[in-house]
Structure formats: structure tokens, C-alpha cells
Copies of this chain bind each other. A is one copy, B any other.
Amino acid sequence: MSQLDDLLRDLVVANRILSNEDVVDAYGHISVRHPDNPKHFFMSRSLAPELVQRNDLIEFDQAGEPVKDQRQPYLERFIHAAIFEARPDVTAVVHAHAEDTLPFGLIKTPLQPVIHSGSFIGGKVPVWDIRKKFGDTNLLVTNMAQGRDLAKSLGKGSVALMRGHGATVVGRSVRHSVFVSVYLEVGAKLQMQAMPMGEIKFLTPGEVDKIASRVSAYTLNRAWENWARRAGREMQPEA
């Protein structure tokens, strides 16, 4: 099979994993950059991630619009378009409303890495507040201007929380972005549990750097294999 086939198969499995691991519910989405046309990307038509199959995937252009496809796209596809535009190093984008990260989008204390597996979020995670620039909205990212403002808040990082809404995670591959998304949740839960019990020893920048700079395909695949199986999908070689 071609690289594209492998990539899209991974994208389908990623939808199932994100749903099964409770990163997304009926909403939330994951996209992957087109390997042959880096200004375009693939993402499901508007559908609960748990239901996504290969033929639900749509190609989108750099403006976040479907390429020759009349089916209903996700309203918030501009999150993906704007991040692929701003970050050439990014291959996959996850937008989710996972419950344990959401409290950190409501308060002043930032989310920070507390464990090895949660260190891929980098340092203190920024919280993007759509209201600063756009006033009262429905909180959703419904055009490129909003998407670009979010991308600016994300900066060179791998995660941006969105006040009253959710989180956006980027990765160097579909599997990497899923890995960061799942352990973002684990780390958020731990920080939340530890905070009422005393002062927290966060990971040092040196530790974060040593872990994040060395994550191997081997490590990512071990988790992917396990999650894919739990979600009822056979393991396949990585795209």
C-alpha cells in the first residue's frame, strides 16, 4: 500500500483510540497533513470520532475548506488549517474537550509536566482565551482569523488549552499526537489531585528536554499497539 493509504488508516484508528481512551466524546477531531501536498490535510467529515471510517475522510485545503466534497465538515476545521499554516513542523493536530484538562483552562494556575509520560506538553501550557481578541463568541473557532490567533498562542509548543472549551495538541505524526493527547490527560489529572495536598515538584526544564527530545517510534508504537487493541483494531505497521 502507498504511504497515503497507511496514513489514512492510522487516522481512522486514531479516531477510535481517542474515543476509547476518553480524550474525545461525540465531538473533537484529529487531522493529518497531506504527505504529497503539505498545504492540504485530511480529516473526517463531521461525525463522532468513534464512528469514523476510511470513507468518511475528506481532503481540506489551506483555507480549511473541503476539496470537492459536499459532505458536512466539522465547524472547527479552521483550528487545523491555521496550525498547519503556522507550523510546518507539525504533521497531526488533535482538538478535544477531554475532561481532566478542562479545569486548567478555567483558572490561573498553569498546567505543567509532573510525570515522565506527561512531559511532552513541554512547560507551562498556555491558555488561549478567544474573548481577548474576539469578544463574546460561542467559543468555537469558526474562521481562519480565530484559528490564527489560537496558533499564535500555541507558538512553538505542542499544546494550547482553550478557555471554557478544550485543548489543541500537535504532533510530528498521528501516533505522536495521540500519545501526547492521552498523557496530557493523565498529567492533568495528577496535577489536579496533587494540588490540594501541598506544593508540587514539577519536572525541571532539563528533564522535560531530555525526555521529549528522545521519544522514539518504539515508545510510541508500544502505546499505540495497546490502545488500538483496546479499541478493537488490529495493530498495523506504522505509516
A interface with B by C-beta (< 8 Å): 25-27, 46-48, 50-51, 72, 97, 99-100, 102-103, 106-109, 113-117, 129, 131, 135-140, 163-166, 186, 189-190, 192-204, 206-207, 209-211, 214, 218, 222-223, 225-227, 229-230
Q: Is the CB of A107 within 8 A of B164?
A: no
Give the contacting residue for A210; candidates B72, B137, B209; CB below 8 A.
B137
Q: Is the CB of B226 within 8 A of A106?
A: no
A46 to B216, CA, bound (A): 14
A127–chain B nearest beta-carbon distance, Å:
9
Q: Is the CB of B197 within 8 A of A103?
A: yes
Q: Is the CB of A50 within 8 A of B226?
A: yes
A172–chain B nearest beta-carbon distance, Å:
18
A24–chain B nearest beta-carbon distance, Å:
10
Q: Is the CB of A197 within 8 A of B192?
A: yes
Q: Is the CB of B222 within 8 A of A136?
A: no
Give the contacting residue for A136; candidates B25, B106, B206; CB below 8 A.
B206
Please name the residue on chain B nearest to A214 by beta carbon. B138
A214 to B137, CA, bound (A): 11
Please name the residue on chain B nearest to A186 by beta carbon. B99
Other than A107-B197, A139-B211, give 6 A-B pairs with Cβ distance below 8 A.
A46-B218, A47-B222, A99-B189, A115-B139, A136-B210, A195-B197
